[in-house]
Amino acid sequence: MDIFECSICLDEFKNPVVISCGHTFCKGCLLKLKKFQCPTCRHSFQSVETLPSNFVVLQWMEENKNKSEKKKIVIKCENCEEERQAVVWCENCSPGTYYCQLCDSSVHSGKATGSHVRMSINQKNQKKPQFSKCDKHLEESKFYCLNCKIFMCIVCFVDDHPQHKTISIYKYADNVKKNLKNTLSNIVESIDILQTKEKKYEALNKSLENEKVKLTKKLKETEEDLRQNKTEKEKDLKLRKNIETSHIVLKNSINEMGVMELMNKDSIELMINRIKKIDEEYCPIEVKLQAKKQSNYSYSHIIDVMDTSDSDEMEYKRKIMNHSWMYRKT
């Protein structure tokens, strides 16, 4: 069978795919099968869609097509000196001879040659190959002489090669097939090397996937930290602006307090309560803890100053302004 012919549709391959057993078929032909089995050896496969394209056969088909287009051989008559174009081939002559129309009519006009098997050139090209015939005895050459390295018929074997080492053409074909398979050793070795590499890639991919999961988790945590940091920053920025504004207002209010207000206990308590409210509402906990640790200066102490002999107005202002140290700009 032609290597470019599908054994199902008996036509030239169309979109050839190869099964793991090595047999190739048209993809469309396999899709028509009821079972996912090789039609030749019954080897099972999962699905037609998973079968790889036989790019090797496609490449051979393309090369063969290009050769046929470039090299259209004109077969010439083997009988006449004019070497006219042959139109028929005779199986019984010499054996197998091409004739032009004129020579064919001349050679096969008698009774002896009129029964010869003849066919057109196209029929000859489509004919399945047969054993070649011995030129001397017109017998099929079914033996191979290992000493002379030639094919021969049974008569040649008996008469001319009795002492030579001879094998049948079937044994010869098996040996050639075996030697051809041995030439695939580099390809087989390449497959083993690539399979080893694939295992390394799989192990590396697994390791990288695990690392990716860790990095993805870390990235999410970092993004969350950035989001929280941004939120805290915006919150602190807003708080700082509020404290700065409060500090300016309180400081200006204290500066504008007159002697009579500073001598009035209610006025002092009102200002202290305002400071205390701002303190409790805006001041960070770190500032409150530091102020408590460094000094026991309290709001009540300012009130106690009213009972001392110090009646200087600036002294009162100084004491109140010193208490608001936490609102000053750094």
| Domain annotation covers residue 178 | no
Say yes or no: 209 and 294 in one domain. Answer: yes
Note whether 94 and 61 are same-domain residues. no
Q: Could you tell me if 316 and 246 lie in one domain?
A: yes
Residues in the chain, total: 330
Q: For each of the chain's 330 residues, which pLDDT tens digit applies? A: 467 888 888 888 999 999 988 899 999 999 998 889 999 899 999 899 999 998 888 888 888 777 666 556 788 998 898 889 999 989 888 767 899 999 999 888 888 888 888 888 877 776 655 678 888 888 888 899 999 999 999 999 899 898 999 999 999 999 999 998 888 888 888 989 999 999 999 999 999 999 999 999 999 999 999 999 999 999 889 888 988 898 899 889 888 888 888 878 888 888 888 888 887 787 776 666 555 544 444 556 665 655 444 445 555 555 555 554 444 443
Residues 286 and 213 in one domain: yes
d(CA 306, CA 263): 7
Tell whether 82 and 123 lie within a shared domain.
yes
- Looking at the fold, whether 117 and 212 belong to one and the same domain comes out as no
6: buried, middle or exposed (CB in 10 Å: 19+, 13-18, 0-12)?
A: buried
Sign of CA dihedral 209, 210, 215, 218: positive
Q: Domain end: 92, 114, 130, which one?
A: 130
64 and 114 both lie in a single domain: no
CA dist., res. 272 & res. 254, Å (int): 10
Within a 10 A sphere around the Cβ of 93, how many other Cβ atoms?
Answer: 19
In a domain, 159, yes or no: no
Task: Determine the pLDDT at residue 60.
Answer: 86
Same domain, residue pair 51 and 77: no
Q: Give the N- to C-terminal CA distance of the chain in Å, as an integer.
A: 97
**160 part of a folded domain:** no
Among 112, 130, 148, residue at a domain's last position: 130
Tell whether 180 is covered by a domain. Answer: no
126 shares a domain with 243: no
Residue 34 and residue 55: Cα distance in Å, rounded?
Answer: 25
CATH number of 79's domain: 4.10.640
Q: Does residue 306 fall inside a structural domain?
A: yes
Examine the domain organization and report whether 269 and 322 are in the same domain.
Answer: yes
Q: Are strands 88-90 and 97-99 parallel, antiparallel or unpaired?
A: antiparallel
Number of domain units in the chain: 3
Q: Are residues 269 and 314 in the same domain?
A: yes
Q: Residue 224 falls within a domain, yes or no? A: yes
Domain assignment present for 10: no
Helix runs in 45-163, H state only: 55-70, 101-107, 111-114, 121-126, 154-160
pLDDT, position 26: 92
Residues 6+ positions from 64 with CB-CB distance below 8 Å: 4
In this structure, the answer to whether residues 34 and 116 fall within a common structural domain is no
The residues, any chain, with a CB within 8 Å of residue 143's CB and separated by 6 or more, are 151, 152, 153, 154, 156, 157, 166, 167, 168, 169
- Contact indicator for 249, 316 with CB cutoff of 8 Å: no
Q: Is 35 helix (H, G, I), strand (E, B) or coil?
A: coil
- Which residue, of 70, 94, 110, is where some domain finishes? 70
Structural domain that includes position 229: 192-327
